[in-house]
Amino acid sequence: MKKIYLLFIFTALLFSYSNVKAQSDVFISSTGNDICPGASVTLTANTSNNALTTLYSSGEGAYPGNMFDITATNEITITRFDGNVNQSTQMEIYYKVGTYVGSETVASDWILVGTAYVNANGAGVATSIPIPVNVTIPAGQTYGFYITTTNVTDRLSYSVGNSVGTLLASDANLQIFEGCGLLYPFGNSSSLMIPRKWHGSIYYYKNTSAMITTTLAGGNNHRGNMFDIVAVNAVKIKKFDAHPMGDTEIAVYYKTGSFVGFESNAAAWTLIGTATVVAQPMGTATPVPVDIDIIIPAGETYAFYVTSTNTAVSLNYSNGTTPNAIYTSDANIQFLEGVGLEYPFTAGSGSFNSPRIWNGNIYYELPESILWSTGETTSSIVVSPQVPTTYSVDYTANGSEVSDNFDLNVYTSTLDLGADFTACFGDVETLDAGAGYTSYDWNDGYNNAQTLDVEAASYSAG
The total number of structural domains in the chain stands at 3
Q: Mean of the pLDDT values across residues 72-91?
A: 95
- Give the residue with greater pLDDT, 156 vs 13: 156
The model's pLDDT over 121-169, given as tens digits with 9 standing for 90+, comes to 998 999 999 999 999 999 999 999 999 999 999 999 999 999 999 999 9
Answer yes or no: do 320 and 400 share one domain.
no
Instruction: Give me the CATH number covering residue 372.
Output: 2.60.40
Answer yes or no: do 218 and 346 share one domain.
yes
In a domain, 440, yes or no: no
In a domain, 244, yes or no: yes
Answer yes or no: do 96 and 229 share one domain.
no
Q: Mean of the pLDDT values across residues 252-266?
A: 98
Q: How confident is the model at residue 9 (pLDDT cuts 50, 70, 90)?
A: very low
Answer yes or no: do 117 and 247 share one domain.
no
AA identity, residue 142: T
Q: Which residues contact 169 (CB under 8 A, 6 or more apart)?
A: 52, 53, 54, 55, 175, 176
Answer yes or no: do 215 and 275 share one domain.
yes
The predicted pLDDT at position 32 comes to: 85
Reply yes or no on whether the pLDDT at 427 is more than 80.
no
Q: Mean of the pLDDT values across residues 303-331?
A: 98
In a domain, 422, yes or no: no
Q: How confident is the model at residue 400 (pLDDT cuts 50, 70, 90)?
A: confident
Could you tell me which residues are beta bridge partners of residue 129? 81
The model's pLDDT over 334-358, given as tens digits with 9 standing for 90+, comes to 999 999 999 999 999 999 999 999 9
Q: Mean of the pLDDT values across residues 309-326?
A: 98
Answer yes or no: do 87 and 12 share one domain.
no
Q: What are phi and psi of 266, to 5 degrees?
A: -60, -30
Counting residues of the chain whose pLDDT is more than 70, the rounded percentage is 87
Answer yes or no: do 348 and 239 share one domain.
yes
Q: Looking at 175, 205, 235, which one is the last position of a domain?
A: 205
Q: How confident is the model at residue 10 (pLDDT cuts 50, 70, 90)?
A: very low
Reply yes or no on whether the pLDDT at 270 is more than 50.
yes
Q: Which residues contact 376 (CB under 8 A, 6 or more apart)?
A: none
The whole-chain average pLDDT of the chain stands at 89
Answer yes or no: do 215 and 361 share one domain.
yes
Q: How confident is the model at residue 105 (pLDDT cuts 50, 70, 90)?
A: very high
Q: What is the C-alpha to C-alpha distance for residues 202 and 297, in angstroms, rounded to an integer? A: 29
Q: Give the max Cα distance, the chain.
A: 107
Confirm if 148 and 99 have CB atoms less than 8 A apart: no
Reply yes or no on whether the pLDDT at 431 is more than 60.
yes
Q: Looking at 331, 365, 399, which one is the last position of a domain?
A: 365
Answer yes or no: do 102 and 147 share one domain.
yes
Cα-based distances in Å from 226 to 249, 327, 345, 356: 17, 14, 9, 9
Full residue range of the structural domain in which residue 233 is found: 210-365
Q: How confident is the model at residue 13 (pLDDT cuts 50, 70, 90)?
A: very low
Instruction: Give me the CATH number covering residue 312.
Output: 2.60.120.820
In a domain, 455, yes or no: no
The full 3-state SS of the chain, as one line of letters, equals: CCEECCCCCCCCCCCCCCCCCCCCEEEEEECCCEECCCCCEEEEEEEECEEEECCCCCCCCCCCEEEEEEEECCCEEEEEEEECECCCEEEEEEEEEECCCCCCCCHHHCEEEEEEEECCCCCCCCEEECCCCCEEECCCCEEEEEEEECCCCCCECEEECCCCCCEEEECCCEEEECEEEECCCCCCCCCCEEEEEECEEEEEECCCCEEEECCCCCCEEECEEEEEEEECCCEEEEEEEECECCCEEEEEEEEEECCCCCCCCHHHCEEEEEEEECCCCCCCCEEECCCCCEEECCCCEEEEEEEECCCCCCEEEEECCCCCCEEEECCCEEEECEEEECCCHHHHCCCCEEEEEECCEEEEECCCEEEECCCCCCCEEEECCCCCEEEEEEEEECCEEEEEEEEEEECCCCEECCCCCCCCCCCCEEEECCCCCCCCEECCCCECCCEEEECCCCCCEC
Answer yes or no: do 171 and 79 share one domain.
yes
In a domain, 448, yes or no: no
Reply yes or no on whether the pLDDT at 86 is more than 70.
yes
The model's pLDDT over 211-233, given as tens digits with 9 standing for 90+, comes to 999 999 999 999 999 999 999 99
Confirm if 290 and 240 have CB atoms less than 8 A apart: yes
Answer yes or no: do 240 and 334 share one domain.
yes
In a domain, 428, yes or no: no
Confirm if 146 and 129 have CB atoms less than 8 A apart: no
Q: Looking at 328, 346, 365, which one is the last position of a domain?
A: 365
Answer yes or no: do 120 and 15 share one domain.
no
In a domain, 457, yes or no: no
In a domain, 426, yes or no: no
